[in-house]
Amino acid sequence: MTQHRITDETRSDAATHHLTLRFSSTRRGARLARQLAVQQFTEWTGLPYDSDPAQSVALVTAELASNAIRHGSLPGRDFRLTLLHLPRALRIEVTDTRPERLPTPVTPQSADETSGRGLLLVQAYADRWGCGARDAYTKTIWAEVPLHTTGS
């Protein structure tokens, strides 16, 4: 699991399919983004909805969307979900409106903490992930979920 700060690496050049949609910065928006990501993943790959990779896509998308709402939203501003079907992974990108609020480095938290473990989950389920601000108004957090689990 590697964290990168470069967002354009292996982006749309290698993608066989891509999709970008905007969602409201609400819990409902995050839920719809997660559902859409899994639906699109299963359509593009032919893998079942309950497969390990599809469940990883659901978890990673939910966490990135939740973080965009909790830490990256401004009143009245949406977040953007981009899915890129790469040769060996699905790249999930979530773009929000707070480029000055980059995620803190991922470190294991104490067992008493009630929050702050989300990016640890992203790191566990994604081959690579990272973040970056492409302009003065947005930042993108991305993760690449492998199409196949180890050993398959």
127-142 residue pLDDT tens: 999 988 888 888 999 9
Contact by Cβ (8 Å): 38, 49? yes
Q: When comparing pLDDT for 112 and 101, which is higher?
A: 101
How far apart CA 46 and CA 133 sit, in angstroms, is 33
- The confidence score (pLDDT) of residue 119 equals 82
For residue 115, pLDDT over 70 is answered with: no
Q: pLDDT (tens digit, 9 = 90+) per residue, 37-61?
A: 999 999 999 999 999 999 999 999 9
How far apart CA 38 and CA 50 sit, in angstroms, is 10
- The confidence score (pLDDT) of residue 13 equals 58
* Weakest-pLDDT range from 5-9, 33-37, 88-92, 119-123: 5-9
Q: How many separate domains does the chain show?
A: 1
Please check whether residue 151 lies inside any domain of the structure: no
Classify each residue of 94-130 as buried b or exposed e, where b means 16 or more C-beta atoms within 10 Å of its C-beta.
bbbbbbeeebeebeeeeeeeeeeebbeebbebbebbb
Please check whether residue 152 lies inside any domain of the structure: no
Please check whether residue 64 lies inside any domain of the structure: yes
Q: Range of 80's domain?
A: 2-146
Q: What is the mean pLDDT of residues 79-105?
A: 87
Across all residues in the chain, what is the average pLDDT? Answer: 82
**CATH for 52:** 3.30.565.10
Please check whether residue 77 lies inside any domain of the structure: yes
For residue 2, pLDDT over 60 is answered with: no
- The confidence score (pLDDT) of residue 72 equals 66
